[in-house]
Chains A and B, each alone.
Chain A
Amino acid sequence: MRRLLPLLLTTGFRLAVWCLLTADLSRLNLMIGLVVALLLPRAHSRPLPLRALLRALGRSLLAVPQAYLEALRLIFGHEPVEAEISESATEGSIPLLVFLDVFRITLTPFTIVLGLEDGGRRYRIHAMKPGPRHGGQTP
């Protein structure tokens, strides 16, 4: 299952894009889409743990509403302050999971991934958050 999952995922994704592009669910069109999805070249894939993938997908979807909240805080917040932080990667060796992590972090307006460091074990992140209120008790 772990070995078959990348093949199923890529084929399913390509078939879904094909169906959306053609907007036609007839049997012939589905067959053509399946053939195209299988014939297109594929990257060499590694076994994919299903649980980690589902968790990463869920976190990426949750990032969308969070991105809007952060956008509103940036728009209505005080003058933003910038900082560079670093976050450990959940699964540094699997390209799809790294992609989902980078997507989740970069989608939200507060944070952008600058790159991977430490041999892919940590993400270097640039953060921009609304700063403290002017005239407040800032240290």
Chain B
Amino acid sequence: MTLASLADHASLLLLGAGLLFWFWGTWPLLESRTYLSKLHALSVADTLGSTLMLLGLLLRIPGQWPLLVLALVALILWNTIFGYVLANCWLDSRRPIPPEPKP
């Protein structure tokens, strides 16, 4: 097996694994589950699944590596921090509003 066909097969494997992660993580969004458990599942789908797909693309089109690496770094950082932002907003919305002082 040549190196090129090995890279081709590995890339297909990574793309397929990423797609599986996507489906596994997106399905819970449609069910009636708690908001935060959906967020946990989404981190599997969005961050980890998409990362696998980008790695697969990196093997498939190595000529475009600067843009793909940039996309990879941006994706991991943004998705993770956005997950934190959503969780933090949820926490804020749960805090009881302090009663307004009476005049």
Given A82-B36, A110-B40, A114-B91, are A23 and B83 also a contact pair (CB < 8 Å)?
Answer: no
Determine the distance from Cα of A20 to Cα of B39 in the docked complex, in whole angstroms.
30
Given A80-B37, A82-B34, does the pair A106, B43 have CB atoms closer than 8 Å? yes
Chain A residues closer than 8 Å to B41, beta-carbon distance:
74, 109
Q: Is the interface of B mostly helix, strand, loop or mixed?
A: helix
Residues of chain B at interface, number, CB under 8 A: 27
Interface size class of A (residues with CB under 8 A): 20 to 34
Residues of A within 8 Å of B69, CB to CB, are 20
Within 8 A of A (CB), among B4-52: 21, 24, 34, 36-37, 39-41, 43-44, 47-48
Contact A102 B91 (CB under 8 A): no
Residues B50-92 near A (CB distance < 8 A): 66-67, 69-70, 76-77, 80-81, 83-84, 87-88, 90-92
Q: How far is the CB of B78 from chain A (nearest CB, A)?
A: 11
Query: A102-B81, A103-B80, A114-B87 in contact; A128/B66 too (CB < 8 A)?
Result: no
User: CB within 8 Å of A: which residues of B?
Assistant: 21, 24, 34, 36-37, 39-41, 43-44, 47-48, 66-67, 69-70, 76-77, 80-81, 83-84, 87-88, 90-92
User: Could you list which residues of chain A lie within 8 angstroms of chain B, going by C-beta atoms?
Assistant: 17, 19-21, 23, 64, 67-68, 71, 74-75, 80, 82, 99, 102-103, 106-107, 109-110, 112-115, 124, 126, 128
